[in-house]
Amino acid sequence: MILRWILALSVTVLSVNGWTCNVIMCDHTNTNNSQIYCGGDILKAVNEAALFKDSKEFVDMPLKFDPETTIADFEAEFNGTETDQIDPVKLQKFVDDHFYPAGHELDECVPAGYSPKPDKLMAIADDNLRDWALNLNNIWSHLCRKVSDNVTLHPELHSLIEVPHEFIIPGGRFREPYYWDAYWIIKGLLASEMYEAAARMLLNYKSYVDRFGFIPNGGRVYYLQRSQPPMYIPMIYEFYEATKNITFVQKLLDSAEAELNFWDTHRTVDVSFQHGDYKLYQYNSASNVPRPESFKEDMATANATSRQSCDLWSNIASAAESGLDFSTRWFADKQSLETIETKQIVPVDLNSFICWNLEILTFLYEYVGMDTVKADQYRQRYITHRRNLQKVFFNETEGAWLDYNIREKGHNPTFYASLAAPLFTNCYEKLDSNKAGQIYDFFKRNDAFNFTSGVPQSTLKNSAQQWDFPNGWANVNHMIIEGFRKSNSPQMQEEAFALATKWVRGNYRVFHTTQHMYEKYNVVGAIPQAGAGGEYNVQEGFGWTNGVILDLLVTYADRISVSDGDKTAAAAGAYISSGLGLIALMIPMFIRA
C-alpha cells in the first residue's frame, strides 16, 4: 500500500489509494503546531523510524522553537528525502535539538485540601485496609500536576492544552488530564475529603467546555476531535451530594448543559427498530487519519487490510472515544481490529450515561438552579430516553440490555461487563426491578462471577485486546458493584459486597507484592497480575484504580476486610520479600514504556 502526504490549504492530508483522509485530530485553525502534533512529515518520519517505543512520547514533547521554524529546519535538512528513507540517527538528533522531553511542561503539586488522615478513611474498621487507604491517599500527591507557565505564554510550543487549576493524572504514559477517568478520581478525592481538589478539577472541565464546546478525550491538542464517555454531569452530581455546595455547583450548570448539547448535536443516530423510530447516541469521531499518539499502530492496522483507510481510522477514533479501546465489542468479526465498526454500533453504556445526565440535570435544575421550567424539560427528556433505551436495548430472550448493531439490525448477545451500565445509572423504572434480576442471571450465566479477583471485561478467550478477557478494570467493576448495591434485590446487594471484597483483596495483594496500583488487572488466579494486551504496556499509578478502592473502602468501611491469609502475610512482612508471583508481577514494571 502506498501512503503519500500532500499539502493542501496548509493542512496536511493523508492520501491513500485515491481516498483523501483529511480530518486531523488537532484544531488547525488554532496554531500551526497541528503540523507537528497531528500531521506533517516530522510526525510521519519519527514514526516510520520508530524512534520511540511508545508513539505517544513524541507528540507529548514541547517544542524549543515555533512550529514554522521547526518545519522550515526539517525541510532544510531533509528536503527531498522520502520520510521513510531519512537516517534515524540524524532524525534523532533533529528531535533532540528541537524538542524538550515529554512531560517537561507539567509541574508537580500538592493537591488542595490534602490531609494525611482524613476522617472517612480513619473510619475503615480493618487495620490492614485502613493503612492501605492512607497509603493510597498519599499517592494523590504523586499524581498531582499543574500546567507550567510556559504553556500559557506559548501555547503553540506545546501539545498540552492549558487548564487553570491542578489536576490528578491517571499516571504512567497518561501524564495529562483525562475525561472519564476523572469521575472515579473525583469519587476517590471525595472519599479522601479533598473537596477543593475535586472542585478545581471540575473548573478545568468547565474551561474545556467554555473554549471548545465539549470535553476532549484528554488534555492535548491531538485529542480535539473526540470526547470520552460523558461523565462531567455525574462528577458535578457526586460533588454536590458530598458537599451540598449550591453556590459552587450553580456556576457549573451552564457548562453542564453545553456539554450535553454537544452529544445531542454531534453524537445522535436515528434507529428504526420493531416499528418504532428512536433517537439514540453513539460514539462517532470525525477524525479519519491515524491517531497521533498511536500513529505507528494505526498505520500498521491500515497496512494489514485492503479496507479503505479513512473509514478504518474514523472507526478506530470512535472506539477511542468510547474509552474502551480496544475491545472485540467494536469488531464485526469479534476478533480482529481490522473489522472495527464502531459507527454501526449503538452502545448500551453511552445511552445509559446520557440517561443519567438527563436525570441529574432534572435534579440539579430543580434543587440547585431553582429553575423548574428547565427541570421539567429535562424530566420529559429523561422519561422519553429511558423508555427508548428499554425498548431498543432490552432483549427478553437473553434477559439483558445489549448493544444494537445497525448493520445487522439486531443485538450483540456477547457478554461484556459494561452491559451493567443501565443498573449503575439507574436507567430503568423502579417497578421494573425484574430486569435487574434478569441482568444478574445474565452475568451469572456468562460466568462473570467465577474469577477470584473481579469481573473480567469479557469472557471471550480469543482476544489480545486490553478491554477483554482476562483483564478486569476498576471503573467497570465499580459500575457493576454500585449497580447491584443500588438495586432493590437483597441477593444482588450481597453479590455487590462479595464483588467489592474480591476486587479490594485482589488489588491489595498486587499492591503488597509490587508496591504499585495498576491501570487494569488480570482477574484470573488467587494473586492477580497487572493486566496486559492492547497497544501499550500496562500503566501504574493509577488514578481511577485508587479512586475506586477508596470509594469501596468508605462505602463498606464497617464490614470489608482482608482475608485471613492476607492478614497473616501482612503481619509477617511476607509480601515484599517472597514468592515467584513477585517476579512475574515485576516484569511489567521493567518493560513499561
CB of 579 to ligand NAG, least distance (A): 26
Distance CA 467, CA 576 (A): 29
Which one is catalytic: 176, 325, 359, 398?
325
Quick check: is 325 catalytic? yes
Q: Check: CB of residue 466 under 8 Å from CB of residue 488.
A: no
Site for ligand NAG in 271-300 (CB under 6 A): 299-300
In the list 17, 245, 491, 568, the residue contacting ligand NAG (rule: CB under 6 A) is 245
Task: Output 300 or 589, the one with its CB closest to ligand NAG.
Answer: 300
Q: Does 489 bind ligand NAG (CB under 6 A)?
A: no
72-80, 376-384, 499-507, 513-521 -> range binding ligand NAG (CB under 6 A): 72-80
| Nearest residue (CB) to ligand NAG, 239 versus 424 | 239
3-state helix, strand, coil split of the chain in percent (to 5) is 50, 10, 35
- Residue 276 phi, psi dihedral angles, 5° rounding: -125, 160
Q: Is the CB of 69 or the CB of 380 nearer to ligand NAG?
A: 69
Which residues have CB under 8 Å from 100's CB, separation 6+?
Answer: 61, 62, 63, 64
Per CB under 6 A, does 305 bind ligand NAG? no
Contact 74, 94 (CB under 8 A): yes
Contact 546, 121 (CB under 8 A): no
Q: Does 102 bind ligand NAG (CB under 6 A)?
A: no
Nearer to ligand NAG, 92 or 150 (CB): 150
Residue among 1 and 123 whose Cβ is closer to ligand NAG = 1
Residue 370 Cβ vs ligand NAG, minimum distance, rounded to whole Å: 17
Site for ligand NAG in 143-172 (CB under 6 A): 148, 150
Q: At 286, which amino acid appears?
A: A
Task: State which residue, 351 or 475, has the beta carbon closest to ligand NAG.
Answer: 351
Contact between residue 43 and residue 11 where contact means Cβ atoms under 8 Å apart: no
Type of residue found at 292: P
Using alpha carbons, select from 261, 287, 294 the residue that is nearest to residue 343.
287
**238 contributes a contact to ligand NAG by CB under 6 A:** no
**Which is closer to ligand NAG, CB of 400 or CB of 510?**
400
Q: Considering only 74-82, 360-368, 515-523, 572-580, which stretch makes contact with ligand NAG by CB under 6 A?
A: 74-82
- Give CA angle at 15 (13, 18), nearest 5°: 145
Among 41, 60, 105, 341, binds ligand NAG (CB under 6 A): 105
Q: Which of 48, 181, 193, 519 is catalytic?
A: 519
Q: Round to whole Å and give the CA distance between 328 and 331.
A: 5
| Backbone torsions φ then ψ of 5, nearest 5 degrees | -100, 135
Q: Which of 4, 75, 88, 488 binds ligand NAG (CB under 6 A)?
A: 75
The DSSP call for residue 64 is S
**C-alpha–C-alpha distance, residues 150 and 507, integer Å:** 38
Is residue 250 at the binding interface for ligand NAG, with CB under 6 A as the rule? no
* Cβ proximity of 380 and 450 under 8 Å: no
68 binds ligand NAG (CB under 6 A): yes
Find out whether 511 and 502 touch, Cβ atoms under 8 Å.
Answer: no
CB 446, min distance to ligand NAG, A: 9
Tell whether residue 77 is a contact of ligand NAG (CB under 6 A).
no
Cell of 63: 517544542
What CA–CA distances, in Å, run from 170 to 181, 324, 503, 541?
7, 15, 19, 6
Q: CB of residue 523 vs ligand NAG: minimum separation in angstroms?
A: 13
Decide if 519 is catalytic. yes
Residues near ligand NAG, by CB under 6 A = 31-32, 62, 68, 75-76, 79-80, 104-105, 148, 150, 196, 199, 245, 248, 299-300, 303, 395, 397-398, 410-411, 413, 447, 450
Show which residues are catalytic.
Answer: 325, 519
